[in-house]
Structure 1
Amino acid sequence: MREAHAINLSWLLRLRWGAVVGQAALILLARLGLEMPLPLVPLFATVGIAAASNAALGLWARRRREIQEWMLWAVMALDVVLLTVLLDLSGGPFNPFSTLYLVHIALAAVVLRARWTWALVALALGCFGTLFVRHLWIPGRDASAAHHHIDDVPLHLEGMWVAFGLASGFIVYFVQRVTRALAERDAELVAARAVTARNEKLAALATLAAGAAHELSTPLSTIAVVARELERRVELSPAGREDAQLIRQQVARCHDILAQMAADAGASRGEAFVSLTPASLLEQALEGLRGVERVRWEADGRCREEEVSLPARALSQAIRGVVKNALQASAEQTRVRLALAREEAGWRLSVEDEGSGMPAEVLARACDPFFTTKPPGEGMGLGLFLARAVLDPLGGRLELRSELGKGTLVEMTWPVERLRQFARLSSEASGASLRPPGE
């Protein structure tokens, strides 16, 4: 709610500047164009108070102060009082621009709660009523005046038409802009909640990996010891000894996989940034991948020349997971195409397969953790989820496009400038941690 008040105040400041300019222009038009006898000094002094208060309020708001609802009401109440002074100096209730009271009431209805809105309505009614008291209900006020407002009825009616147009324009413009700003803020909140939810899932996944590593370490160690004892037995045949060695190798591999599971679950925040070319990153991601001979990739000339600082291990694992999905989704005789291109903001990697594609309901859930359509044993449904979890904190994106019978296209982008900022902050933090205490 406080953030909404800050947004409302920013747009209220802009509207008030527009009102100051409009009021000054109308006063000059009425005095010079229509030759109406107006007290210019008091009128411009009132407009000057509005301008000065708006400038002071803008400077105050830039200091990131906490905006309260009563502050918005106070600003609107000041505008109602200043409008009343301007109307009193330029015809009172006969001034057609008295309809501008409705602008303030409409704005209050949009940005304030009911009690504050009704309070502003009461203030506007009271101020408007004072104009009738001063200009109509005090006997003899205009008795000696050579000119009476009743003589200006045609001009008054024409002014009412202009005032209606201005009031309508102000209301529609401000309400639409505030509504749009609030919608953008709500969209940002939804995106922030989605990122928070993904981070919570990553934390749960890392906890699960750590627990699995802890629980499986003992039986794996036992298997490794037994395999070593079998390998040392003299009566074991050469084939049996090879099988024992294979068991030990696979157990060691299981140890390595379990040790890296937590880190692979989106631990790019704590990984040190290293400088390398995008081509080297891609080669690192494809190294040792099963079925890599079916991968065909192309890149522009800058991919082997321009270096960028990034979390190489996490990002290469993310790319590896996406390419692995593409290989598994394609038939053995088909190719997977990779295209690496330098764009204005950063790098874009496209991974396109020739598989059967995904229907809309599967595409909508493709990045959810543990969601997979693969047969048992071919995947856990974490590749796309982890890839997005790595790219999001870096300012990158992962986008999917797929149609049944036409394959799937996955595009991964990561911005260069954002990565440079991350690398600089990472190096500064590393340098600070290495300094002796007291320096």
Structure 2
Amino acid sequence: MAHPAIPERNWVNIQWLARLRWAQIAGQAATVLVGQILLEGALPITSLLLVISVGLVSNLGLELYFFGDRRREGATARTVHEWQIALVMMLDIAILTGLLYLTGGPHNPFGFLYLVQIALATVLLRAVWTWMLVALSFVAFGVLLAYDRSISIPEDSRAIGMWVALGVASAFVVYFLRRITGALAERETELSEARGLAARQERLASLATMAAGAAHELSTPLGTVALAAKELERALTKAADPELAADARLIREQVGRCRVILEQMQQGAGTVGESVTACTVAELIDETMVGIRESPTVHRDVPSELLKAPLLLPPRAVSQALRSLVTNAQDASPANTTVVVVVRREDSMLTLSIRDRGAGIPSDVLARIGEPFFTTKAPGRGMGLGLFLARAVIEGVGGSLQIDSGAGGGTEVSVTLPTDVSTREPTRSVRSGESPRPGVVSKPA
């Protein structure tokens, strides 16, 4: 999936505060109208509606200022400062004080609602602003005590009012605080995932730099060793010494392996240097299968109407990443089984599922899968970079990779790729830091 920009904390807070204020305004208007009916017109209805209209107009202004530009294509969101949120909440306390002043002052049971503002401030604001709102609420209630405008309210109606006020205050606190804290927790999760992605990209850049330098520095001595080993093999073959000739051949093979490793580290370390080009799904899958072993066999499950679907992405890097995943599935599967590659399209995303028939991955190993240079393969069969590089390439083009495995149940690697990487939103820059790797799911054994 594409990686949208992670919203700032204050942006999340102002969105939920605006929603709360609409509910607050509707509740205030309804309470005033019901109270006017129950008290047989004893309330100063015009003054109360004017006070409520201050909240209505201010929230309209807040919506237009912060959210009005978002309807225009290409418009950027305004920066939200904490002091702006605090000022809005101070205005709400002033409005509540005005309503209480006109409806019984300190004797109005809806004085409970000061606690709603304080509870919200505890979640939305830093301590200094929260204490300022506490002080403002304290002073406002003191003003109500000093300038008491009591109205005649029957005791039974007052008791019912206290009951309703407690219910309203509790409902507002529980509902909105849970929603706000949930939204903030979701933002923190996204931020943690972005930090993990940034850390992997930094390691990938370091790996690419190291590989480029190593390839440059080692190309000449490796070539010399390979040439000398080849001449030595010829001489030993003529001298009828097959054992030493085999040793010379082994030297050449290992030199070749060193070159392949350097090439994999250098060319497979991302999409840097490769332009985005057009291809079809069939061409991408065909390129993925280049060099794949014949056993275990690989079965392609691709709908015929999807084969000619157009893609716009870096095909070499993506196909090499997918090829690494298919090769891993072959390595994990017995020779007489079949690895299944399922390709589907969901809206603007291409999904690929690679299923092996192996023994599955234990949960303790699954937790480390994807770390650079971590491998469960036998020495000489892998260096622990394939999955790391594949994930980096896929996430680098705006996709995602998820591993679903359990001991004894095989493994399924699910890849999601955008069909057009040129339209994806850039990933927001964050501080790098370790965080739990997203996209790894362990099934119970």
TM class by shorter chain equals 0.7 to 0.9
- Find the aligned partners of 1:350 and 1:186 in 2 and give their Cα distance: 29
Structure 2 CA distance for partners of 1:77 and 1:422, relative to 1, 3 Å:
closer
Equivalent residue runs for 1:381-396 within 5 Å: 381-396=384-399
Task: Report what 1:197 is aligned to.
Answer: 199
- Find the aligned partners of 2:241 and 2:23 in 1 and give their Cα distance: 89
Whether the aligned pair in 1 keeps the contact of 2:296 and 2:339 (CA below 8 Å) is: no
Q: Which has the higher contact order (CA 8 A, sep 6+)?
A: 2
1:239-294 CA-partner distances (Å, limit 9, x unpaired): 99x9999999997886576355322111x254212222222212211112233562
Task: Report what 1:5 is aligned to.
Answer: 10
Structure 2 CA distance for partners of 1:342 and 1:4, relative to 1, 3 Å:
closer
Structure 2 CA distance for partners of 1:91 and 1:211, relative to 1, 3 Å:
same
Task: Report what 1:331 is aligned to.
Answer: 334
Where does the alignment leave 5 or more consecutive residues of structure 2 unmatched?
1-6, 70-76, 426-445
Percent of residue pairs bearing the same amino acid type: 47
Task: Report what 1:347 is aligned to.
Answer: 350
Q: Which of the two has higher C-alpha Rg?
A: 1
Task: Report what 1:42 is aligned to.
Answer: 47
Task: Report what 2:442 is aligned to.
Answer: none
Aligned partner of residue 143 in structure 2, secondary structure: helix
- Find the aligned partners of 1:365 and 1:262 in 2 and give their Cα distance: 23
Structure 2 CA distance for partners of 1:405 and 1:92, relative to 1, 3 Å:
closer
How many residue pairs get aligned? The number is 407
Superposed displacement of residue 25, structure 1: 1.8
Superposed displacement of residue 158, structure 1: 0.8
- Find the aligned partners of 2:239 and 2:424 in 1 and give their Cα distance: 56
Superposed displacement of residue 91, structure 1: 1.9
- Find the aligned partners of 1:246 and 1:102 in 2 and give their Cα distance: 79
TM-score calculated relative to the size of structure 1: 0.83
Matching residue's letter, 2:353: S
Whether the aligned pair in 2 keeps the contact of 1:302 and 1:342 (CA below 8 Å) is: no
- Find the aligned partners of 1:39 and 1:302 in 2 and give their Cα distance: 70
- Find the aligned partners of 2:81 and 2:349 in 1 and give their Cα distance: 41
Whether the aligned pair in 2 keeps the contact of 1:295 and 1:336 (CA below 8 Å) is: yes
1:110-164 CA-partner distances (Å, limit 9, x unpaired): 222333222222221221122222227xxxxx8xxxxx62x52211111111111
Whether the aligned pair in 2 keeps the contact of 1:337 and 1:353 (CA below 8 Å) is: yes
Q: Determine whether 1:99 maps to 2:112.
A: yes
Superposed displacement of residue 232, structure 1: 11
Task: Report what 1:314 is aligned to.
Answer: 317
Matching residue's letter, 2:190: E
The match for 1:20 among 25, 37, 40 is: 25
Segment drifting more, 252-261 vs 166-175 = 252-261
Structure 2 CA distance for partners of 1:6 and 1:303, relative to 1, 3 Å:
closer
Whether the aligned pair in 2 keeps the contact of 1:84 and 1:128 (CA below 8 Å) is: yes
Instruction: Determine which structure has the larger helix proportion and give its number.
Output: 1
Aligned partner of residue 80 in structure 2, secondary structure: coil
Whether the aligned pair in 2 keeps the contact of 1:353 and 1:409 (CA below 8 Å) is: yes
The match for 2:403 among 400, 404, 413 is: 400
Task: Report what 2:306 is aligned to.
Answer: 303
Superposed displacement of residue 228, structure 1: 8.2
Superposed displacement of residue 15, structure 1: 1.2
Task: Report what 1:185 is aligned to.
Answer: 187
Structure 2 CA distance for partners of 1:277 and 1:66, relative to 1, 3 Å:
closer
Superposed displacement of residue 184, structure 1: 0.8
Where does the alignment leave 5 or more consecutive residues of structure 1 unmatched?
137-141, 143-147, 424-439
Whether the aligned pair in 2 keeps the contact of 1:308 and 1:420 (CA below 8 Å) is: no
Aligned partner of residue 412 in structure 1, secondary structure: strand
TM-score calculated relative to the size of structure 2: 0.82
Equivalent residue runs for 1:145-184 within 5 Å: 149=152, 152-184=154-186
Superposed displacement of residue 359, structure 1: 0.8
Segment drifting more, 98-107 vs 293-302 = 293-302
RMSD, aligned α-carbons? 3.2
Q: Determine whether 1:55 maps to 2:60.
A: yes
